[in-house]
């Protein structure tokens, strides 16, 4: 095996597949990158038995072949080489030889026949989206995915195709993010839960472009296909939250506010909420709504802060507490200039949504009881 490749293209491929490398395994082969040549292309593959990533690049292939090399050492060497062409080959001792200008490295390899094959997907349902659409939908929901392993189903996002619309939903028990888009082509209804880890990697690999990405699902696997990259992942099993039923349909207090102004006020007040004196305690930010204005405040041993915003209000006066991070995560994901925030009681979920009422996105946040 021997090929010559531009460093930038090779490094992009390595960075795309490296997250499929297993970090905790008793199988050393899963810590490697499978390198395969095919005519004038080189394919890099990683697979941790849950997430598999393939990336193909065009190269000058001098001699066909394949091998497996430890991902961590290989990637670090390539990253530090000069920005020029790199020659990679196998010598008679099955060592991987890396040559670039005055640099020469020889790495031990593993038997490519021991590398597990990625699952084949017997496509049951599929959709096609523009990559920038998927990137936007993941970015506007992934922050609400749970990190608690004992609630495995909530460590992923629900992908629901219903009435020719795609709904992507994330929930962690304290907040919910829901992003919707209508599909261009008519497809049948289906729903799956895709691990958050996978979606984070998909989001890093896809571009902010109109290029298409195809998502295919089978019984327990999903496949993301782009022009030069494939990502296969297991699906999460279990019953996802019936999200439409938990979102309040009525409100007692409602505000219309400039998103940037609200976000900046929360960011300033949260500096006090993140107490430097009692790091183990979490102080909520208090939101007080009066006729025509909202007061955002926090008080603890570090000090106190208060911000006032004059705005349009409807309904009752209200005091409610929030984890500022949860509120800010939602605000940062919103592109609209103005938003509605709907409140129930001081212990009921609050809803953030578009003033255009397009149903494009909805965020639900549970309040925190305020200790006086």
**Do 269 and 186 share a structural domain?**
no
Residue-by-residue DSSP string for 293-336: EEEEEEEETTEEEEEEEE-EEEE--EEEEE-HHHHHHHHHH---
Total number of domains constituting the chain? 3
Q: Compute the distance between CA of residue 179 and CA of residue 59 in angstroms, rounded to an integer.
A: 39
pLDDT for the residue 263: 98
**Do 348 and 301 share a structural domain?**
yes
pTM over 0.95: no
What's CA 228's distance to the chain center, in Å?
20
pLDDT for the residue 358: 74
pLDDT for the residue 275: 62
pLDDT for the residue 47: 96
pLDDT for the residue 372: 61
Q: Print the domain residue range for 55.
A: 2-114
Backbone angles phi, psi at 292, to 5 degrees: 80, 0
Specify if 372 maps to a domain: no
Q: Compute the distance between CA of residue 186 and CA of residue 25 in angstroms, rounded to an integer.
A: 42
Sheet hosting strand 66-70, strand order edge to edge: 109-110, 66-70, 32-38, 41-47, 51-58, 229-234, 221-225, 212-217, 125-130
**Do 281 and 192 share a structural domain?**
no
**Do 173 and 103 share a structural domain?**
no
Whether 31 and 116 have beta carbons less than 8 Å apart is answered as: no
Q: What is the CATH number of the domain that holds 295?
A: 3.10.150.10
pLDDT for the residue 150: 85
Specify if 301 maps to a domain: yes
**Could you read off the pLDDT tens digit of each residue along the chain, which spans 372 residues?**
999 999 999 999 999 999 999 888 889 999 999 999 999 999 999 999 999 999 999 999 999 999 999 999 999 999 999 999 999 999 999 999 999 999 999 999 999 999 999 998 888 899 999 999 999 999 999 999 999 888 899 999 999 999 999 999 999 999 999 999 999 888 999 999 999 999 999 999 999 999 999 999 998 999 999 999 999 999 999 999 999 999 999 999 999 999 999 999 999 999 988 765 555 456 789 999 999 999 999 998 888 999 999 999 999 999 999 999 999 999 999 999 999 999 999 999 999 999 986 779 999 999 998 876
**Do 7 and 87 share a structural domain?**
yes
- Per DSSP, 368 falls in state B
**Do 234 and 337 share a structural domain?**
no
Specify if 120 maps to a domain: no
> Looking at 9-50, which runs of residues are DSSP E strands?
32-38, 41-47
pLDDT for the residue 26: 86
């Amino acid at each position: 095996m021997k090929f010559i490749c531009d460093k930038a293209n090779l490094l992009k491929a390595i960075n795309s597949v490296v997250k499929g490398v297993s970090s905790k395994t008793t199988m050393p082969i899963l810590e490697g990158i499978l390198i395969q040549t095919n005519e004038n292309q080189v394919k890099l593959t990683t697979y941790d038995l849950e997430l598999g990533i393939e990336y193909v690049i065009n190269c000058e292939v001098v001699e066909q072949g394949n091998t497996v090399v430890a991902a961590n050492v290989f990637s670090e060497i390539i990253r530090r080489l000069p920005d020029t062409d790199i020659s990679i080959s196998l010598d008679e001792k099955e060592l991987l030889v890396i040559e670039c200008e005055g640099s020469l490295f020889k790495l031990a390899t593993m038997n490519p026949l021991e590398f597990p094959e990625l699952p084949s997907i017997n496509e049951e349902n599929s959709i096609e989206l523009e990559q920038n659409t998927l990137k936007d939908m993941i970015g506007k929901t992934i922050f609400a995915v749970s990190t608690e392993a004992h609630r495995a189903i909530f460590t992923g996002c629900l992908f629901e195709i219903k009435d020719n619309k795609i709904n992507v939903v994330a929930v962690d028990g304290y907040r919910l993010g829901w992003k919707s888009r209508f599909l261009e082509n008519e497809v049948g209804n289906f729903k799956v839960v895709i691990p958050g880890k996978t979606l984070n990697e998909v989001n890093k690999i896809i571009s902010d472009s109109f290029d298409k990405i195809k998502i295919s699902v089978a019984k327990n696997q999903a496949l993301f296909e782009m022009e030069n990259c494939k990502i296969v992942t297991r699906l999460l099993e279990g019953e996802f939250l019936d999200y439409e039923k938990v979102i309040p349909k009525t409100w007692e207090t409602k505000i219309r506010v400039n998103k940037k102004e609200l976000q900046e006020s929360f960011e300033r007040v949260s500096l006090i909420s993140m107490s430097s004196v009692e790091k183990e305690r979490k102080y909520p930010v208090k939101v007080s709504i009066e006729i025509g204005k909202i007061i955002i405040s926090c008080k603890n041993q570090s000090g106190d802060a208060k911000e006032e915003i004059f705005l349009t209000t409807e309904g009752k006066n209200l005091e409610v507490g929030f984890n500022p991070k949860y509120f800010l995560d939602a605000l940062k994901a919103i592109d609209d200039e103005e938003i509605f925030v709907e409140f129930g009681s001081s212990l009921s979920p609050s809803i953030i949504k578009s003033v255009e009422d397009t149903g494009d996105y909805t965020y639900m946040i549970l309040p925190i009881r305020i200790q006086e």
